[in-house]
Amino acid sequence: MPTRVAGDRINESIDAAARDFASLPPDRPVRLAKRTSNLFRHGTARNGVRTGLDLSAFRGVFEIDREARTARVGGLTTYEELVDGLLPIGLVPLVVPQLRTITIGGAVTGLGIEASSFRNGLPHESVLEMRVLTGGGDGRGEVVTATADNEHAQLFRTFPNSYGSLGYVLDLVIELEPASPYVALRHIRFDSVEALTRAVAGVLASRAWDGHRVDFVDGVVFGAREAYLTLGRWSDRVEGQPGPSDYTREHIYYRSIQERRTDVLTARDYLWRWDTDWFWCSAAFGAQHPAIRRLWPKDKLRSDVYWRIVAFEQRHGVMAAVDARRGRPPRERVIQDVEIPLDRTADFLTWFLEHVPIDPIWVCPIQLRRKGASATEPSGIRPTTADPTDPGSPPWPLYPLRPDVPYVNVGFWSSVEIQPGAREGDVNRAIEAKVTELGGHKSLYSDAYYDEGTFARLYGGGASAAAKRRYDPHGRFPTLYEKAVQAR
């Protein structure tokens, strides 16, 4: 039976959101007022709450149906809140992005990924229904309910990767899957990126490795001759060690990948294993130094704390000024996630390791879900929401991954020195060109340098424009190009 948490409060909040939208100045683009962000575009780090639309009422788990394994949740609910609300009853979202403060609405409109994406796709693929506050209603705002097959199916298909250019999701109905108390891990080393990608292909095909079921797959490339896949499976008990490992204090998770062959974490610690040290980026703040780590409050070892430090630096440039006084060259920020077809991933990793001085590198396989696929059976080739009037159309046109192609997300987050005679952005432009050459796509949460024509070709410009005409005819929201490239 469904468990109802919010009752009629949802409808009252929807009415209030529509009134709030209508009261905003019609000559200024509508933006979301929120304190946290996981965007890394220039211009997105601002002081406090943005002046804009307050949707804070849409936060929380509103309704759970344990039998159907679904939940209605607010769009501004963080995955930390989702996990805290669902894990105690043995359920989790099909994909839980790696950072605690990513919101479910953000993961749908801006994409998300994690180690279950090789079997469950991307977070928006587990959405059954969403209510979206659009720019319709003569520009005063209109709330529509979108599903894969109702009159707003166009919005349902184009909302993923729209980044607030078509509206804001108020609440969603999402699929869930059973969770166990623990996750058992195996770290498998490979001496080349080619061997790593061959192993990924085998796991995607069989959902197993060496006779053991695989529920989670991701990996770390430390160099051309040192790469690891971490294979996880749900487990009801701790095996092979006295208790579950704890990487929320002096030990650091990504280092354990090189040091251990097997491991066990609690389900919660596994889901947030990367958040504690922001993968490995906490080293930039001294948080991995043993002396500093002993003094660093345990509850402040988390990504949103590091993000606030980064946001402060973006606003004030303190370290950049210090480096300049010391005669050090300026640096270009290279913070990106890209999706590369599996059969070209080794080519990309080899090129990257030769041309970009950044490591480690995160890798995470992705395969879009097929129609009717469950979380326990291999993905097929038919997407859940392809346009029924155009069988050849991509299921999610603003981020047109092919449903019959396995991909690998490659993530790298650091900075590089700007060489003499070079300009800021040159390294990112080279990466963009290489990704396009190999048939891949780049996530848009960080800096992008595409010209408008290239961007439209790569990110469903025609579908985006058509949805914009229908759901934001008065231009209340910035366009996707303005948001992603011009950082408006």
Parse the chain into domains and list their residue ranges: 2-178
Euclidean distance between CA atoms 201 and 435, whole angstroms: 20
Euclidean distance between CA atoms 385 and 154, whole angstroms: 10
Burial 340-350 (b: 16+ CB within 10 A, else e): bbbebbbbbbe
Do 222 and 349 form a contact (C-beta atoms < 8 A)?
A: no
Q: What angle do CA 213, 373, 370 make, to 5 degrees?
A: 110
Euclidean distance between CA atoms 155 and 110, whole angstroms: 14
Q: Is 344 helix (H, G, I), strand (E, B) or coil?
A: helix
The architecture in CATH of the region 2-178 reads 2-Layer Sandwich (3.30)
Residue partners of 400: CB distance under 8 A and separation at least 6 = 394, 441, 459, 460
Q: What is the DSSP secondary structure assignment for residue 32, as one 8-state letter? A: B
Which amino acid type is present at position 115?
Answer: A
Do 118 and 215 form a contact (C-beta atoms < 8 A)?
A: no
Euclidean distance between CA atoms 469 and 166, whole angstroms: 10
Euclidean distance between CA atoms 342 and 194, whole angstroms: 10
Nearest residue to 169 via CA among 280, 265, 55: 55
Euclidean distance between CA atoms 370 and 381, whole angstroms: 6
Phi, psi (rounded to 5 degrees) for 385: -135, 35
What tens-digit pLDDT sequence spans the chain (488 residues)?
Answer: 344 445 567 788 888 888 888 888 888 888 887 666 666 555 554 444 445 788 888 999 999 999 999 999 999 999 999 999 999 999 999 999 999 999 999 999 999 999 999 999 999 999 999 999 999 988 888 999 999 999 999 999 999 999 999 999 999 999 999 999 999 999 999 999 999 999 999 999 999 999 999 999 999 999 999 999 999 999 999 989 999 999 998 899 999 999 999 999 999 999 999 999 999 999 988 999 999 999 999 999 999 998 888 877 777 676 667 667 777 788 899 999 999 999 999 999 999 999 999 999 999 999 998 754 544 444 333 334 455 445 456 899 999 999 999 999 999 999 999 999 999 999 999 999 999 999 999 999 989 999 999 999 999 999 999 999 999 999 999 999 999 998 76
Residue partners of 453: CB distance under 8 A and separation at least 6 = none
Sign of CA dihedral 26, 30, 35, 40: negative
Which residues pair with residue 145 across a beta bridge? 131
Do 58 and 13 form a contact (C-beta atoms < 8 A)?
A: yes
Euclidean distance between CA atoms 13 and 30, whole angstroms: 18
Residue partners of 62: CB distance under 8 A and separation at least 6 = 4, 5, 6, 10, 71, 72, 73, 74, 171
Burial 75-114 (b: 16+ CB within 10 A, else e): bbbbbbbbbebbbeeebbbbbbbbbbbbbbbbbbbbbbbb
